[in-house]
Amino acid sequence: MRIVHVSDCYAPRVGGIESQVADLAAHQVSQGHAVHVLTATAAETGTTTLGRYRETITEPSGVRVHRIASPVSLGLPVHPRGQALIRRALALLEPDVVHVHAGVVSPFAHDGARAARAAGLPLAITWHCMLDGVEPALALGARATGWRSARFAPSAVSGVAAERVAEALGRTDVSVMPNGLDLTPWRAVATGGDRTPSGVSARRGGGGPLRVVATQRLAPRKRAVPLVRTVAQAHERLGRDTAGRPRILLTIAGGGPAEHAVRAEVAAGDLDDVVTVLGRVPRQTLPTLYRAQDVFVAPALLEAFGVAALEARAAGLAVVGQAGTGVSEFVQHEREGLLVDGDEAATDALVRLAEDGELLAGIRAHNAAVPPSMSWAEVIGRANRVYARAREAVGLPGSV
């Protein structure tokens, strides 16, 4: 099968949609498919001898990446002639299916969807976002442009995200195509005998801290500053041990525009011995970090999926996340972690886990013994079913 992915951004080392598209494409190549990616992201300066804005390269994975970027967009993943250029690329590539990856604001992805629809090509669109706040505008646009009845296969990365898409588009055929994960490095942490003794075992002996970690891009919507306040309140309630040490510790791994605000919040709250801000940490080193942690906290309120939380859950950590977000796709309350409603409830959950060693040990034992179901084999299977629906929608056989 020849598959063309269309994504505003394509920079696999960044994370989010970018890494998921890259990993999905690479796994599809490994299964014998011819896979292309159309993106409006320019190549990094100094990484290519070709043009940064218009180039085609073959990555080591075998994925063919076609950069259709513009120097006039000031680095934004948008092209003023995006739809026409994508239409031309699709005519040359002759794909068996076009898979568009959309966020809340995805001009290039939307250009790709319109181009594929106009050409009558099998089209699958996956939303990697929560549409809260933009549903009315999307619903109005879908009615005006015919997307409510258009022949394509819609999906989203979680059940809660799919509900928003279905409501906005007025459709009943929105399926779930979750993000995938290579479980191997994370399960090695969960099941390995070399795990660093953590707060769980220490508290059995009477007094180790609850070790909490959050891995995220430090952007306002990820809510790292409220997370620091949540942990500060838990610290205030738990107090210190007889040696004067905090009974809860937070490590934040990640960088971004809110990093200064996070560090300022730590300083203002006199939390230097409670909160450690590591800055950006390479993804491949995160399993090592998780060896010494008990709990992963996902504070975002509009989390469509939560790959970082899934990685931590696969590594055997308990997860504290917001109910009604994509984290609930792989966390059931009091089984893989605790689902909460708001920051005050998150504080309560952390205090509970710090004081109830039996509950924490039970969650950790379950997560160590039972891997999550979002392996790439599972995700590729779901993708193939979505592609079959996309082909059948335009009158073609589901399989190629």
Angle at 273 between CA 271 and CA 278, to 5 degrees: 90
CATH number 3.10.20.600 is the correct assignment for the domain at 2-180+376-393? no
Long-range contacts (CB closer than 8 Å, 24 or more residues apart) made by 262-270: 262/218, 262/224, 262/225, 262/228, 265/225, 265/228, 265/229, 266/228, 269/228, 269/229, 269/232
> Where exactly are the structural domains of the chain?
2-180+376-393, 184-369
pLDDT digits (tens, 9 = 90+) for 283-303: 888 999 999 999 999 999 988
Q: How far apart are CA 371 and CA 315, in angstroms?
A: 9
Q: How far apart are CA 361 and CA 312, in angstroms?
A: 15
Quickly name the fold that domain 184-369 has.
Rossmann fold (3.40.50)
In the chain, which stretches have pLDDT less than 70?
Answer: 11-16, 45-53, 74-75, 193-207
Residue type, 277: V
pLDDT score of 18: 78
2-180+376-393 and 184-369: same fold? yes
pLDDT score of 95: 97
Tokens of 179: 């993000």
Local structure of residue 340 (DSSP, 8 states) = E
pLDDT score of 224: 92
Closest residue by Cα to residue 126 from 89, 156, 105: 156
pLDDT score of 196: 47
* Measured distance between the N- and C-terminal CA atoms of the chain, rounded to whole angstroms: 6
pLDDT score of 207: 57
pLDDT score of 166: 94
